Structure 1
Amino acid sequence: MTGFSDQSVAARLHSVRERVAAAARAAGRDAAEIRLVGVSKRQPVAAIRAALDAGLADLGENFVQEAVAKMDELGHAPGAGPAAWHFIGALQSNKTAAVAARFDWVQSVDRLKLAERLSRQRPAALAPLNVCIQVHVGAEASKSGAPLAAAGDLARRVAALPQLRLRGLMAVPPPETDPARQRAWCRQLAALYFALQQEGMALDTLSMGMSDDLEAAVAEGATMVRIGTAIFGPRA
C-alpha cells in the first residue's frame, strides 16, 4: 500500500471524524449518534490494526474469505472484539453459514430466504445477529437491494426471525457530485426508515453515506456512515 503508515491512517481517521462532526453541527445533530464503519476490504491487516489503535470500533468487509482471514489474524470473535465486524457486500447463499458464525452485523440482507438462512445458522451460543435490510435506491442494475416498495414488508418479516435482530436499513445510492441529488437519494431511504419507526418497529440504524457523500447522508438523518478510502487510502 503506497504511503501507508500508522500515522497516515490515524490522521485520515481523525479527518473523517472531523467531517462527521462538522456535518452533524450543520444539521443540528449530535455527532455522537453517528457510528463510523471503516470499510477495510482489500486493505492490509497492518492498516486495519492502525485504525483500531486510533480508536476505530467498527469494520466493514465485502468478501467472506478475505474477512475471515483478517479476523483470524486479529483475534476477532463475535461480540468479543477488538471491533464489531459488518458484512456489507452482496451475500451468496453458500456463504451464509460463515457470515452467521463470524460477523457481528450483516447490512446487506435483501431477501427473506437469505435472512432465514442467517437465522438458522447463527450459533445459539451467540447473541442474535444484527442485520439491516439493504434497499435498492436508484436504477443501477449492478447494485443489490430490495426494491423500495417491497422493503417495508421484508423488514417486518425479518424482524420476526429468532436469531436475528433487525436494526434498520442500508443503501448504496448512485454516485452523484451534486449535494442536492445526493440528499435526494438519501431522503428516499430515510423516509422509509422513519415510516417504519412510526409503525412501532424498534429500528435504530440508518446506514448510508460513504467517503464522497457522508455530509448529505448526515443531513438526511444517517446514524451510520461507511467510509473506506478516506480512512485507509487507495486500495491495493
Structure 2
Amino acid sequence: MLARARVSALAPRTRAFALLPQQLQALPQAQQLHATYGAVTFSRRRPTLQVTSTQLAVATLGRRCFSTANSETPLYFDTHHVVKSLQEKGFTVDQSESILQVMKDAMADSLEAQSRILATKSEHVELKAELSERVFNSTLKFALLTVGIGRTDIAQRHSRELLERDFNTLKQDIRMLEKIDFDKIRMEIAELEKKFLLQKQAEDETLNELRLSMEKVEKRMLQYAVGFAGTIMAVGAALMRLVL
C-alpha cells in the first residue's frame, strides 16, 4: 500500500517528451540511461536535471556525439551521420543543423522527464532496505507478542507475500507509465515526419515551377534567335539582289 501511494502521488509529474525525429531509429537504443526502473523517491525529491550549455564531443570509436556539460547522462549519437543522411534526403546544411538542434533539445527534455519518474539503483536499494527493515521490525514485534512458532511463521509468510505483492504492483505501475511516455513520443515523431514530408513536397513543387519557367524562357530566346537570324538572312538576300 505504501508503494502504491507513492506511485499515485508521482503520477501528475509525468510529462510528454519533446519532439524526436524518426530519422535515427537507433538513437533510443544508443541512449544510455543511468537510471533503473526501481522505486520512486519517498523521503526526498531528486534534483531536476538541468541542461544549460551543450557542446559537441568526440565519443569512443571515433564517432561524434552530443554531450551536455552539466548532465550526468550525456547524449551519445553520430551527428555526422545524421547531418549527412539529412543532406542526402535533400535538406540544406542549415536545415540539417536545425533538425539536429531540435533532436538534442528533445533528448535533453526526455532525460529530464524520465529523471522525474525513474529512480536510481541506489534509491531502489535504499527503499528496499527501508521496507525490509519495517517488515522485519513488524514481524519481530508480532513474534514477540504471539505465542508459538506456528503463528510467527504464518505472520512472516503473510508479510513476505504482502511485500512481494507491493513490489510487483510498483513494477507494473512504473512499466505502465513508461509505456505511456513512449507512446506519446511515437505520436510526436509521426507528426514531425508528416511536417517534414509536407515541407519537402512544397520544395519539390517550387523547383518544378522554376524548371518550367526556365524552359519557357529558353524557348522564347530560341525563337527570338531564329527570327533574328531569318531577318538577317532576308536583308542579306535583298542586298545581294540589289547589288547584282
Q: TM-score, normalised by structure 2?
A: 0.19
**Higher relative contact order, chain-length normalized (CA < 8 Å, sep 6+):** 2
* TM norm structure 1: 0.19
Instruction: Choose between structure 1 and 2: higher strand proportion.
Output: 1
Larger Rg: 2
Question: Which structure shows the higher helix fraction?
Answer: 2
